[in-house]
Amino acid sequence: MTKTELISAVAEKAGISKKDADKAVNAVFDAVAEALAGGDKVQIVGFGSFEVKPRSQRVGRNPRTKEEIVIPASKLPVFKAGKSLKEQVAK
C-alpha cells in the first residue's frame, strides 16, 4: 500500500475528505518522526511501537577492493509489531 492508497483508505473509513485525511496522515507521520528524533519511544496500543536503537561502530569490507573500512556508529528507527497486529496478520 502506498501513502496515497493509505490516505484514500483513511478518508473512506473515517468518512472524511481526502484532503482532511492527507492532513491527518501527514500529522501522524510527522508526530512519530519528531518523537523519535527527540529520543522518545512511540507506543500505539494494539498496533506496535517505534523506537530508536543505537548501532555501534563496526568494521566492514568494500566488496570491490576487499579493503576494510570502518562503518561509523549510527541510530536506526525500528518498529516492533504488537500482539494484536501479529495475530491479525497471522490469520
The confidence score (pLDDT) of residue 91 equals 83
Tell me the whole-structure pTM to 2 decimals: 0.79
The confidence score (pLDDT) of residue 77 equals 96
pLDDT in tens, 17-65: 999 999 999 999 999 999 999 999 999 998 999 999 999 999 999 999 9
pLDDT in tens, 58-74: 999 999 999 999 999 99
The confidence score (pLDDT) of residue 54 equals 95
SS percent in the chain: helix, strand, coil, step 5:
45, 30, 25
CATH superfamily of 41-91: IHF-like DNA-binding proteins (4.10.520.10)
